[in-house]
Amino acid sequence: MNENKQLKVSAIKNGTVIDHIPPRNLFKVISILGLDKVENQITFGTNLESKKLGKKAIIKISDVYFLDDEINKIALVAPQAKLNIIRDYQVIEKKVVEVPDKIVGIVKCFNPKCITNHENIVTKFIVASKKDVSLKCCYCEKITYQDQIVIV
């Protein structure tokens, strides 16, 4: 079983593995973490079999380690994501993501009449619910629910 997994997405020597990403949100995770601008080696796989999610995506980033604040941002789109910190092919630490209290500059307010959708403003949200992620806009005070989340 382990051999099969390694064949699908190759192992990394050092870096971070982000596992249990919902496949439909893989590119949102890439966007949130700014991986499209990183020059390190990145491999990803999607629509992989998962006992927990049915299908999952996985990202392996060589020689990159994230701060908790950075990685928690992906909780908006991948609340069940797990991180493995790899050194010399060994998992030395496992982490789960946590929805932060405040979301700044990542999510677009779903309200078309919100000022943030009409001027060049960094969006700010207070997390109203961490369970079924809902975000209250600090400007228009409207709630953006999880299925409405669009990454800026």
Partner 1 sequence: MKNKSLVSINDFTKEDYLKILDLAEGFEKNPSQQVLTGKVVATLFFEPSTRTRLSFESAVNHLGGRIIGFSDSNSSSVTKGETLKDTIRIVSNYCDLIVMRHPYEGSARYASEIATVPVINAGDGANQHPSQTLLDLYSIRKTQGKLNDLNIFLIGDLKYGRTVHSLIMAMSYFNPTYHFVSPDELKLPDEYKIFLNNMGIKYYEHKEFTDIISEADIIYMTRVQKERFTDPIEYEKTKNAYELRNFMLSNTRPKMRILHPLPRVNEINIDVDENPKAYYFTQALNGMYIRQAIITSILGLK
User: Which residues are at the interface with partner 1 (CB under 8 A)?
Assistant: 109, 111, 113-116, 118-121, 137-143
Closer residue to partner 1 (CB): 51 or 113? 113
Sign for the pseudo-dihedral over CA of 123, 118, 34, 134: positive
Closer residue to partner 1 (CB): 1 or 122? 122
Closer residue to partner 1 (CB): 99 or 138? 138
- The Cα 48–Cα 60 span in angstroms is 14
Min separation Cβ 146 and partner 1, Å: 15
Closer residue to partner 1 (CB): 84 or 116? 116
Token pair belonging to 52: 């927990």
* Residue 48 and residue 8 in contact, taking contact as beta carbons nearer than 8 Å: yes
Min separation Cβ 69 and partner 1, Å: 22
* DSSP single-letter state for residue 11: -
